[in-house]
Amino acid sequence: MPTYRYQSRLDTGRIEGGELVADSVSAAAMTLRSKGQRVLRLVPVATSKRIDWGRIWEYLNTGSGPRQKDILDFTTQLAVMIRAGINIRQALEGIAEQTKNAKFKRILNEIRTDVESGKPFSDALGRHPKQFNTLYVNMVKASEMSGSFGRMLDRIASLIQQQLETRNMVIGASIYPGVIAVMAISVTVFLLTFVLPRFAGVFQGKEDILPGPTLFLMGLSDWMVLYWWIPLTVGVLGMGGLIAFIRTSVGQFWWDMLRLRVPLFGPMFRALYVSRSLQTMGELLNAGVPVLDSLVVTGDISGNAHYRRLWRRVGRSVREGRRINTELEHTSLLPRSVVQMVSAGEESGRLGEVLEEIASYYLRVLKDAIKTMTSMIEPILIVAMGALVGFIAMAIILPIFKMSSIVSG
């Protein structure tokens, strides 16, 4: 049987530790509680120092950690088990056994150990903020207080599913322009470094009759062949510098502002941030989370530095005794109609429901914005790529026609 190292608190308040042998973590925790001890920590002890290469191989082949889809599957399974009457410790153990991702399995086992030691489930989740964000933890905490754990897990699963669909729509719309841009750059580099040099011998000694575009492209081609490493180095360093700058607070501020103001993409991102913020706040308020806590979580979940600052200002305003719409009336990040509906929701006492209705509307606005952006950017990119390739082709063909006319004349 496995050995477990424990740390517990006695009735007298004294903390003691040691090791005990038991069939499972549950059995070990039950043994300690039967002695009147409150379990503070209970972890398995490695009984052998032999390297388990099979476990290491499994760990390396499961990626960097659980994806959002794994969190969704976990939440859905847990909701079904809780509704079926299975206690949370057994549910966590069963889900962990079926989980293929080694890192997520380890996280679930740690959560189960914390729950078995007497910690609330929300506190156990809060120890893993990268996997379970503040929205998830606060909704679970609210359900623990209200006794609606199973129904809340269903709501969380539905929310995660909706967030996944929204994220996939935005990513899909953003990838298309990137693919076209990469293709345009690749075709241009191929023509400059492989096609144009083949014509160098044909045009050699005839520079006087070559048109300007051809001379420009021939010079650019020669430079690219000799100094190809310069644009490559500048591109890599520039991309690395941009990523490093965006990770700073100042860089994140300007990057988020750019996403809100860039043509075509701006309306899409604005609809995304509005729907995400209002949906988060509506879900938390309907779950019974206090307004101030909901505003803090909404700012963290919004995904944009400017909206984060907005919701923090609203939180400070509410803390001083003012209404939510008081601060919202002075911002341009939310449409005037949204502010008016928020005010109406506050007056009627149905703010959570109103926010969810607005969020649903802006999800439809987001889908329309994505369709509009895709329909507009596709012909623009095709025309731009065609003009670029056509310019290069013209620069190659024009001197050939010119030389043919000279020879025939």
Q: What domains appear along the chain, each with residue ranges and CATH number?
A: 1-50 (3.10.20), 51-132 (1.20.81.30), 134-409 (1.20.81.30)
How is 372-402 classified by DSSP, letter by letter? Answer: HHHHHHHHHHHHHHHHHHHHHHHHHHHHHHH
For 385, phi and psi rounded to 5 degrees?
A: -65, -40
* Percent of the chain residues topping a pLDDT of 90: 6
- Residue 249 pLDDT > 70, yes or no? yes
- Take residue 85 and report the two structure tokens written for it: 């009457």
Nearest Cα to Cα of residue 369 among 166, 175, 179, 181? 166
Can you list the alpha helix ranges (DSSP code H) found in 84-133? 88-98, 102-116, 121-126
Handedness of CA 105, 111, 113, 116 (dihedral sign): negative
Q: Name which of 7-11, 71-75, 76-80 the model is least confident about.
A: 7-11
Model confidence over 92-123: pLDDT tens digits? 888 888 888 888 888 998 898 888 888 888 88
Give the end-to-end CA distance of the chain in Å, rounded to a whole number. Answer: 100
CB count in 10 Å sphere of residue 364: 11
- Take residue 325 and report the two structure tokens written for it: 């719409």
Give the highest mean pLDDT range of 43-52, 112-121, 145-154. Answer: 112-121
pLDDT confidence of residue 254: 93
Model confidence over 319-339: pLDDT tens digits? 988 888 888 888 888 888 888
Model confidence over 165-180: pLDDT tens digits? 888 888 877 787 778 7
